[in-house]
Amino acid sequence: MEGIRPLLVEAYFSSLQGGDFAVEIDLKLIRNTLVVKISGELDLLVSEKLRREIDSKIQSQQVKNLVLNLEKVSFIDSSGLGVIIGRYKRMNAGNGRMYIVGASPAVEKILIFSGINKLVPLYRSEQDIINI
Amino acid sequence: MNVKNYVRFEFKSLAENVSFARSCVAAFATQLDLTLEDIEEIKVVVSEAVSNCIIHAYENRCNEKIVVLVSIMDDRSLEIVVEDQGKGIEDIEKAIEPAFSSDSSRTGLGFTFMKSYMDEMEVFSQPGEGTTVRLKRHFRKKEQEAYA
């Protein structure tokens, strides 16, 4: 047990550096497009928070389109994918559009594996969407 | 086959602990001299298995227990076992189908990720008696990969 404890402590503190304790969600409405910048790990805990914040904004503002900026997202799992799919359905139901920008190679791999990229286009940056 | 090293830890079924579980297993697995991609895949696998315990096994109850056992075997394989004492799975074959979920708001991709990123997956479960998910992956030495 003595030999294991330092490993566990180190693992715990390294998880804090990029984990949900460091998550930030920034929402900005530009005309009728909600731009959501997320930083941290998009897992079960963060997904719930993200879902609530986006839905609250959609309900209170005139949001037609949604842009998820994942430049600072270091991890995503199926909980994060679930939030993305749920928001896509919501935008689609209102004839709006949704885009994902800035996914890292590791995050993009998960998005492509799940097939989400066939529903929600992936772009390198927000500038690329403006140029559409 | 001998267990070269292992770590076993348990924690409350809180969403806050999923990140810790990922980091703990990833940190332990670095003994195998893995690539960054390998580590990322292991983190996804652990995240999915532990999240399943919280969401499905315990239905988001936060005072339950999840146990994770990670072993490094003599042949450079990594075994991850995730156990819960939750409600169990009635139909395991159906549960591991891609995009199946008992919760319509979920993607149902948890087991799909686990199967894809690991070489072996076994699920042991009975209704009312909890679930054990055993996952195994074999890692070749890096110089072997260069000649593959």
pLDDT at residue B147 above 70? no
Interchain contact, A75 vs B43, CB within 8 Å:
yes
User: What is the set of domains in chain A, with CATH numbers?
Assistant: 8-130 (3.30.750.24)
pLDDT of the residue at B104: 60
Number of domains, chain B: 1
Whether the Cβ atoms of residue B108 and residue B61 lie closer than 8 Å to each other: no
For residue A18, name the pLDDT band (cuts at 50, 70, 90): very low
pLDDT at residue A54 above 70? yes
**In the 8-state DSSP scheme, what is residue B1?**
-
For residue A8, name the pLDDT band (cuts at 50, 70, 90): very low
Q: Give the residue among A100, A115, A125, A98 at the shortest CA–CA distance from A42.
A: A100
pLDDT of the residue at A62: 86
User: Which residue range(s) make up the domain with B120?
Assistant: 3-138
Whole-number Å distance between alpha carbons of A78 and B44:
9
pLDDT at residue A6 above 50? no
What would the two tokens of residue B98 be? 């891609």
Whole-number Å distance between alpha carbons of B86 and B126:
10
Average pLDDT over residues B10-17: 97
pLDDT at residue A24 above 70? yes
Using CB atoms, pick whichever of A8, A14, A78 lies closest to residue B109: A78
Q: How confident is the model over A82-122, as pLDDT tens digits?
A: 999 999 999 999 999 999 999 999 999 999 999 999 999 99
Helix (H) or strand (E) holding A14: helix A4-18
Average pLDDT over residues B128-146: 82
pTM, 2 dp: 0.87
Q: How confident is the model over B78-122, as pLDDT tens digits?
A: 999 999 999 999 999 988 887 766 666 677 899 999 999 999 999
Backbone angles phi, psi at A40, to 5 degrees: 120, -155
- Residue B93 CA to chain centroid, in angstroms? 17
CATH (domain of B44) = 3.30.565.10
Residue B137 buriedness (CB in 10 A; 0-12 / 13-18 / 19+): buried
pLDDT of the residue at B90: 92
Interchain contact, B24 vs A85, CB within 8 Å:
no
Whole-number Å distance between alpha carbons of A118 and A127:
21
pLDDT at residue A66 above 90? yes
pLDDT at residue A1 above 70? no
CA atoms within 13 A on the CB side of A50: 31
Residues in chain A within 8 Å Cβ distance of B28: 7, 11
Strand order in the sheet with A65-76: A24-30, A33-42, A65-76, A98-101, A122-123
Whole-number Å distance between alpha carbons of A66 and A35:
6
Compare B80 and A16 and report the one with higher pLDDT: B80
A64-101 CB burial, b ≥16 within 10 A, e <16: ebbbbbbebbbbbbbbbbbbbbbbbebbeeeebbbbbb
pLDDT of the residue at A16: 46
Interchain contact, B26 vs A44, CB within 8 Å:
no
pLDDT of the residue at A4: 44
pLDDT at residue A3 above 50? no
Whole-number Å distance between alpha carbons of B56 and B66:
12
pLDDT of the residue at B45: 98
A26 CB within 8 Å of a chain B CB: no
Q: Could you tell me if residue B144 is inside a domain? A: no
What would the two tokens of residue B138 be? 């074999």
Residues on B contacting A at a C-beta cutoff of 8 Å: 7, 9, 15-16, 18-20, 22-24, 26-28, 37, 40, 43-44, 47-48, 51, 54-55, 105-110, 113, 116
A1 CB within 8 Å of a chain B CB: no
Compare B113 and A23 and report the one with higher pLDDT: B113
Task: Count CB neighbours of B83 within 10 A.
Answer: 20
